[in-house]
Amino acid sequence: MSQTIFVLEDDTDIARLVQHHLEAAGFAARLFHTPTNVIPDAERQPPALFLLDIMVPGGDGLDVCRRLRSHPGLSSVPSSSSPRAPAKTTACWGWRWAPTTTSPSPLPHVSWWLASRPCCAVSRRPTTPSVIRFEDVVIDANAMQLTVRGQVTTTTATEFRLLDYLARHPGRVFSRDHLLDAVWGDARFVTPRSVDVYVRRIREKIEIDPENPRYLMTRRGAGYRFELPKSE
């Protein structure tokens, strides 16, 4: 069975946060900001699960779910609405999920899916440690939290995803285009220079001297590399 989960969510930051949680749990996430291409793309390559927001431009998750339920090739793929859906809506469709949190984490949805389909549970990729620590910096992927010199430091979802991605691949040089694909995916209105902007913001948060970085290094003409300090 495919390890890909389709996510319909029009809010870019929430979509990226959901993607981050799914990838940290060992799944691949395919993001859709409108319902237009969800079913056509699923017909070409069915996902393992749909996570659908209720209110999105050009339609809604319930309409997509109705179409999936009547689709001869996709009706067996489980679906779940987003945490913003009212309980009575999910209940009337018989989805085994109840909204208990406003967090955009999709893991409760994935958990009920795996629990309800034990014979079809997907194999999951080995996961890396959720917490990365070096010197005075702590990157906690599960909590989406950055702590620097003992203080919790506020980041946007995109800033955190970029930092976490680089820190989990220390020593590797990534081009701007690669980072755009890995962190921003198919988001519109971003350019390779967007990476430079976010790198500067991250340096201001983790480096003692952002103008002379020790962790997030530039490789001129190539891209960026993250350096983890060597243990004593």
| pLDDT, tens only, 186-215 | 655 678 888 999 999 999 999 999 999 999
Q: Would you state the structure tokens that stand for residue 157, as one six-digit string?
A: 């979802």
Q: Which of 81-90, 161-170, 218-227 is predicted with the least confidence, judged by mean pLDDT?
A: 81-90
In this structure, are residues 31 and 52 in contact, taking their beta carbons and an 8 Å threshold?
no
Helix axes 192-206, 157-167, angle to 10 degrees: 80
Cα–Cα distance between 87 and 179 in angstroms, integer?
38
**Quick one: DSSP state of residue 120?**
G
The pLDDT value given to residue 101: 34
- Better-scored residue on pLDDT, 215 or 143: 215
In this structure, are residues 67 and 39 in contact, taking their beta carbons and an 8 Å threshold?
yes
**Quick one: DSSP state of residue 122?**
P
Name beta bridge partners: 31: 7
Tens-place pLDDT, residues 144-161: 889 999 999 998 888 888
Instruction: Indicate the pTM of the whole model.
Output: 0.52
Q: Cβ neighbours of residue 85 under 8 Å, at least 6 residues apart?
A: 54, 61, 99
Give the strand pairing for 137-140 and 49-52: unpaired
The arithmetic mean of pLDDT across residues 134-143, rounded, is: 87
The arithmetic mean of pLDDT across residues 1-30, rounded, is: 77
In this structure, are residues 60 and 66 in contact, taking their beta carbons and an 8 Å threshold?
no
Q: What percentage of the chain has pLDDT greater than the value 90?
A: 22
